[in-house]
Amino acid sequence: MIRLIAITDDASMPPAPLHAVGCGRLTAICAPVDEHSGGADSLWRHEELVESLMETRDLLPVRFGTQLADDEAVAQAVGARGGQLAQRLELVRGAVELALRVDERGAAEPPLTGAATGTEYMQLQADRVRNGRMIHDELAALARETTMLPGPELLRAAYLVERSNVDAFVARVRKLQEANPELVLICTGPWPPYSFADEERA
Amino acid sequence: MRDKVLAAPKDLDPLSVEPPRLEDALSRRINADPESVERGLVQLVLTIVELLRQLMERQALRRIDAGSLTEEQVERLGTTFMELDRRMEELRDEFGLDVEDLNLDLGPLGRLL
């Protein structure tokens, strides 16, 4: 068995113990099976691997834990979706993923039960939705593509941002934070474009 | 992980906002002893109730936005949702469940909520 790490169209050799499998126009970067896989450590190792590859090439990260029998199976699996993957690769070219979580300050639990009347409760709910939407719209203007992720926060979203635009994006997050001291905005990255690699997720 | 934080409020430790859930996520398997079966069942039932609650709440917000509800209806709806929210919180506490626990990963379909 081998692990599938990333799909790219850069044919250069990845550093050992990785190896490249040609799949038509695309290249699959594979690794030997991690014997201690399954824990959080191996997930972080996977993440570091993808990030180091991402420094020198555009790629689609493959979901952690994807294993196939051998090079031939990889070539077949990737070849069968070649067109789709090439399209996705074009979408993420030159860009990274930035993640954002927004919540109310001190909101480990939703504080909405503090409302005095039903109308006030609905009002607070509507404000929450509106606040999240406003922040999302403002940041989306700086991104090539966005996706809202489900979660208990006011807003949890991922943004596909051009590398040259990352600083401007982070500056905008800081400005939004200053303008909304009652909220907590946490922006992390740059990540491989996990949220934009699959059609279903993006 | 810490060097991945690009922006966060200065007075807050960003990692304290959301406790690391990685180990949880990786070890979330169905354990077939009688006690955890009960907890698993409660988790599933509450997840479905929470899904319905959120869907209804979103629908209600849309109708308020559209102006198709009277003040009295808004008040009644709001009170119901607030009560439901409160009750859900109590049940979560009782069974040691987190907001995040009331969500299901549906694989390629994404997350339920």
DSSP B38-103: HHHHHHHHHHHHHHHHHHHHHHHHHHHHTT-S-HHHHHHHHHHHHHHHHHHHHHHHHTT--GGGS-
| Res A182: pLDDT | 86
Interface of B with A (CB under 8 A): 4-9, 12, 14, 17-18, 22-23, 26, 57, 60-61, 64-65, 71, 74-82, 85-86, 89, 99-100, 103, 108-113
- CA-based R_g, chain B, Å: 18
| Res A112: pLDDT | 55
CA distance B107 to B20: 21
Q: Say yes or no to pLDDT of B108 above 60.
A: no
The length of chain B is: 113
pLDDT category, B104, cuts 50, 70, 90? low
Of B14, B81, B99, the CB nearest to A186: B14
Interval A100-121: pLDDT, tens:
999 887 654 455 567 889 899 9
Residues of B in contact with A110 (CB under 8 A): 85, 99
| Res A168: pLDDT | 96
CA distance B110 to chain A (A): 7
Interval B44-78: pLDDT, tens:
888 888 888 888 888 899 899 898 899 999 999 99
CA distance B66 to A63: 41
Q: Say yes or no to pLDDT of B2 above 90.
A: no
Residues of A in contact with B61 (CB under 8 A): 122, 125-126, 129
Low-confidence residues of chain A, pLDDT below 70? Answer: 36-38, 106-113, 199-202
Chain B interface disruption, residue of A113, A121, A169, A183, most B CBs within 10 A: A121
Q: Work out how many domains chain B is built from and give that number.
A: 1
Whole-model pTM: value is 0.78
Mean per-residue pLDDT of chain B: 76
Strand pairing category for A59-61 and A95-104? unpaired
Q: Return the CATH number of A95-196, one of 3.20.20.70, 3.30.70.100, 2.130.10.10, 3.40.50.150.
A: 3.30.70.100
Is A122 within 8 Å of B78 when comparing Cβ atoms?
yes
Domain ranges of chain A: 2-92, 95-196
| Res B19: pLDDT | 46
The enclosing H or E element of B24 equals helix B22-27
For B49, the domain range is 34-101
CA distance B17 to chain A (A): 8
Asked if the structure places residue B66 within a domain, the reply is yes
Q: What is the 3-state secondary structure (H, E, C) of A93-118?
A: CCEEEEEEEEEECCCCCCHHHHCCCH
CA distance A118 to A106: 23
As a whole-number percent, the residues of chain B with pLDDT over 70 amount to 68
Asked if the structure places residue B1 within a domain, the reply is no
| Res A198: pLDDT | 79
Asked if the structure places residue B75 within a domain, the reply is yes
| Res A53: pLDDT | 93
Residues of B in contact with A112 (CB under 8 A): 82, 85
- CA-based R_g, chain A, Å: 20
Contact between B53 and B88 under an 8 Å Cβ cutoff? The reply is yes
| Res A28: pLDDT | 94
Is B110 within 8 Å of A188 when comparing Cβ atoms?
no
Q: Which of left, alpha, beta for B12 (phi over 0: left; psi -120 to 50: alpha)?
A: beta
| Res B105: pLDDT | 58
Residues of A in contact with B12 (CB under 8 A): 184
Sign of CA dihedral B55, B57, B58, B64: positive
CA distance B100 to chain A (A): 7
| Res B20: pLDDT | 46
Helix boundaries (H) for chain A: 40-54, 71-80, 82-92, 118-140, 166-179
CA distance B91 to chain A (A): 14
B50, closest residue in chain A (CA to CA): A152
| Res B15: pLDDT | 54
Q: Say yes or no to pLDDT of B11 above 80.
A: no
Interval B21-30: pLDDT, tens:
555 555 455 5
Asked if the structure places residue B3 within a domain, the reply is no
